[in-house]
Structure 1
Amino acid sequence: MICNPYEIIIQGLTSNGRQFRPSDWAERLSGILSTFGWDQKMSYSPYVRPMTLDGVRCVAVDRQLEEINPRVFAFIMAFAKDNDLKVVDCRTLMTELEASGKAGDTAA
């Protein structure tokens, strides 16, 4: 499984199919809620994480973030809208992948 049913996926593709740049946009966006541990390693929040789907950088956003931190959730959704990025519910995405036969071919 590439995402959880309670996540929203922001894909690094614009509505006209162009790849969004810079190439590390997903890590940068996910980094707004990341923390550094005692070992000085960055850990992504359980609510926002970068992922790759069919070679396209994406960000998975847990729907719980809207309740926990509505301002950050609104910022992330506004970022997607302002940059014309495709936003898909994970359940919808999984259904599409299963229909196309790609459900097992993607990497998280």
Structure 2
Amino acid sequence: MTTSDESIETFCIKGITHQGKTFRPGDWGERLMGVITLYVGERRPGLHVASTRLAMPVVEAGVKCLIVCGELRRVCPDAFDFVIRFARDNDLPVETRARSREAAYASAAWTG
């Protein structure tokens, strides 16, 4: 969902529970991105792993996170619901953010 002409809504799922415990396994973000890729049927050229421009594992302040583009809600509501349910079921915080289109598309160009 676009929040304005200049920004895109994104969701940051943090890999630390509300109780402060690090979520395991350590590659949960990459695995969840792979599941999203199965839902949307997208593969990134030149990468040997499943990936999508709609989700990207990152590390913020030492915490592993998964950034999910709000566009996923429109492209594949089932995948979006799965991701949000995954976060809720595992007690992981989800932060809603508005990112500039430029920053969002720069992230989409990430090649790991």
TM-score between the two structures when normalised by the length of structure 2: 0.70
Deviates more, 1:39-48 or 1:8-17: 39-48
User: After the TM superposition, which residues 1-108 of structure 1 pair with which residues of structure 2 at under 5 Å, given as runs?
Assistant: 5-32=8-35, 33=37, 35=43, 37=45, 41-42=48-49, 44-91=51-98
Structure 2 segments unaligned to the other structure (5+ residues):
1-6, 99-112
TM-score between the two structures when normalised by the length of structure 1: 0.72
Seen in structure 2, the aligned counterparts of structure 1 residues 42 and 36 have a Cα distance that, compared at 3 Å, is farther
Structure 1 residue identity aligned to 2:14 = Q
CA contact (8 A) 2:14 2:94 kept: yes
- Cα deviation for residue 55 of structure 1 reads 1.1
Counterparts of 1:79 and 1:56, CA distance in 2? 17
**CA-atom RMSD in angstroms:** 2.4
Corresponding residue pairs, total? 89
CA contact (8 A) 2:8 2:70 kept: no
Counterparts of 1:36 and 1:64, CA distance in 2? 17
